[in-house]
Chain A
Amino acid sequence: MINKPHVDWFALSPSLGLIGVSFVLLLVAVLVPKNARKPVAAFLAFAGFVGSCALSVLLYDRSAQAVTAVHDAIFRDRWSALAQVLLAGSGAVAVLISYREKMREEHIAEYYALLTAAGAGMAFFVQASNLMTLFLGLEWFSIALYVLTAIDIDLIGSLEAGLKYLIVGAVGSATLLFGSALVYGTTGQLSFDKIAAAGHGHDVMLVAGLAMVIAGLAFKASAAPFHMWTPDAYQGAPTPVTAFMSSATKIAALVVTYRVLTTAFPHDQRLWSGAIAGIAIASLAWGNIGALVQRNVKRLLAYSSVSHAGFMLIGIAAANALGARALMYYLIPYAAMSLGAFAVVAARERELGVPVTLHNLAGFGWERPVLGISMWVFVLGMLGFPLTGGFFGKFYVFAAAYRHGWWWLIVAGVIATMISAYYYLGIVRAMYFRESAELQLAPAGGAPNRELLLSAGVLICLVVTVGSFFAVQPLIDVARHAANALPL
């Protein structure tokens, strides 16, 4: 007689719902006639993400008490539920951006199937409560993302990006796995709580394992010096995929990093806190300096995402309740800003049919006022300007570092923000302040049709970016409830 664990289906529902939609989409790929396939697939994927978002909200509401479910394999608490809300929301917006992307029509349903599968993997990953579910969740969404990056198989750049992402990502996973094995060896336990309870504070093998786990997660969060795949993968992937990767992967990786460090390694807090601070500073420096010389807008935004990883890691390095709150809050406007910025890039790319550079962005602000102003708001938000959530995001992260007593992290953050003004404002300059002779108007035959769905996606991002500034108190409260699930 085998003892079956009690399965809390409701706790698994955001992830199971999405993977269910993914299976249905694979059937759509063969059963639905070719001309109806694209709208049906896109609608199903969108509905799946919205449904998963709704389930996560319910889960958030009903998980005030943090518990582990399914035989200690997953957490059911508000920290993961809030992350799932953000992940599913990002996925829904990514579907809106994807709809008009030029892709091989015959594989369109598979594209959405992979997108929902990646979303499901991330939703599972943020709930992971032992080393095995951690690794499986990580690989689940990573493998889906490798294929998505390389899905535009006619484009050499896309294949190249996919292969590079796969190789570097696999090295990251192997590092995480080896670290997990070392931790397992020292403590004899797989689940985070029991690893902490086993309490082998400064065992050499445990510390080596911890370092490798941090490195493996930093690969996924694209934090320097583990970011080398980021610019290539972001530039080569189809733009909607880049948008999804930049927001959702970062949410998943950072939320899980904080969770693993606080629940499994509370005794080594001084160690990991210092290590994360180092990675944060490296990301800030590398991301901002790298972005200064970029002409390709997708590549520029990729480096900017590395620097944002640095800002959010400051919140983790602070290792206090304020830092957890700051991280959760920061992720909300960050996800919206990066999705929105890549959506605008996608719109321009479809107009011109060539990769978007700072040069051919000229005049875009005048040509497409709504998208232009949205892009303006997004880059100002990334810069941390008031009237956008980016301002409070940086503010809270710095406040957390201050409470930890690490003023030098704040200094590094402020310097990084000042450097970033150059390239963020460079985008605005490219869109608005160019001589009329330099303007790159849409090719002859008039501009392509305005894209309602993409514009809707951009508007959602705009509302979240600006709204998170004005609704900062309720959002911080939500983030505080989420952070209460962590043992800080």
Chain B
Amino acid sequence: MRGPDIQWYVILSAILFSVGALGVMLRRSPLIILLSVEIMLNAANLLLIAFSRLHGREDGQIFAISVMAVAASEVVVGLGMIVAMGRRHVDLDVDKLRTLRG
């Protein structure tokens, strides 16, 4: 059982990446935005793993695993900032974060 052809993986991960990118641009809550960034990173992961299977090499899978670790640490930092903002009673809406602008 070989599973679907490679182009389906490419199309699926392209769709996932676009969903993530749209989420970052359209949503207002920083939490959902972080989630959307995760979707973008995982779209790339899916692509890496699919290609690694296509070429019969392992390095793509190793790459994907290290990306997961990196993505997790990025989320930790992001969530830390969001918690700190919540404690300071900052509105958690990126459209209202406009102390810095111009």
Q: Does A157 sit within 8 A of B, measured CB to CB?
A: yes
| Chain B proximity of A350: nearest CB distance (Å) | 20
Q: Contact partner of B51 among A161, A185, A231, A293, CB < 8 A?
A: A185
The segment out of A173-181, A415-423, A470-478 that lies at the interface is A173-181
Q: Are A166 and B59 in contact (CB under 8 A)?
A: no
Q: Does A39 sit within 8 A of B, measured CB to CB?
A: no
Q: Does A53 sit within 8 A of B, measured CB to CB?
A: no
Q: Does A190 sit within 8 A of B, measured CB to CB?
A: yes
Q: Does B24 sit within 8 A of A, measured CB to CB?
A: yes
Q: Are A167 and B66 in contact (CB under 8 A)?
A: no
Q: Are A170 and B37 in contact (CB under 8 A)?
A: yes
Q: Contact partner of B81 among A157, A159, A178, A232, CB < 8 A?
A: A159
| Chain B proximity of A424: nearest CB distance (Å) | 18
Interface string of B8-31 (1 = CB under 8 A from A): 001001000100110010000010
Separation of A60 and B24 alpha carbons in the complex (Å): 42
Q: Are A167 and B99 in contact (CB under 8 A)?
A: no
Q: Does A382 sit within 8 A of B, measured CB to CB?
A: no
Q: Are B37 and A132 in contact (CB under 8 A)?
A: no
The segment out of A1-9, A16-24, A145-153, A392-400 that lies at the interface is A145-153
Separation of A178 and B78 alpha carbons in the complex (Å): 21
The segment out of A91-99, A135-143, A383-391, A436-444 that lies at the interface is A135-143
Which residues on the B side are within 8 Å of A294 (C-beta)? 102
| Chain B proximity of A27: nearest CB distance (Å) | 21
Interface string of A170-206 (1 = CB under 8 A from B): 1101110110111011001010000000000000010
Q: Does B1 sit within 8 A of A, measured CB to CB?
A: no
Q: How large is the interface on A (under 10, 10 to 19, 20 to 34, 35 or more residues)?
A: 35 or more
Which residues on the B side are within 8 Å of A164 (C-beta)? 97, 100
Which residues on the B side are within 8 Å of A146 (C-beta)? 74, 77-78, 81
Q: Are A166 and B24 in contact (CB under 8 A)?
A: no
| Chain A proximity of B59: nearest CB distance (Å) | 5
Which residues on the B side are within 8 Å of A167 (C-beta)? 24, 30, 33-34, 37, 78, 94
Q: Are B41 and A177 in contact (CB under 8 A)?
A: yes
Q: Does A401 sit within 8 A of B, measured CB to CB?
A: no
Cβ-closest chain B residue relative to A178: B44
Which residues on the A side are within 8 Å of B41 (C-beta)? 170, 173-174, 177
Q: Does A259 sit within 8 A of B, measured CB to CB?
A: no
Q: Are A159 and B84 in contact (CB under 8 A)?
A: yes
Q: Does A323 sit within 8 A of B, measured CB to CB?
A: no
Interface string of B42-74 (1 = CB under 8 A from A): 011101101110110101101100110010011
16 A–B contacts from the bound complex (CB under 8 Å): A136-B70, A139-B73, A139-B74, A150-B84, A157-B100, A159-B88, A160-B90, A167-B34, A170-B74, A174-B20, A174-B37, A174-B44, A177-B67, A184-B60, A184-B63, A185-B10
Using a CB–CB cutoff of 8 Å, the interface residues on chain B facing chain A are 6, 10, 13, 17, 20-21, 24, 30, 33-34, 37, 40-41, 43-45, 47-48, 50-52, 54-55, 57, 59-60, 62-63, 66-67, 70, 73-74, 77-78, 81-82, 84-85, 88, 90, 94, 97, 99-102
Using a CB–CB cutoff of 8 Å, the interface residues on chain A facing chain B are 131-132, 135-136, 139, 143, 146-147, 150, 153, 156-157, 159-164, 166-167, 170-171, 173-175, 177-178, 180-182, 184-185, 188, 190, 205, 231-232, 235-236, 293-294, 296, 299
5 nearest interchain CB pairs?
A174-B40, A185-B51, A181-B47, A188-B55, A177-B44
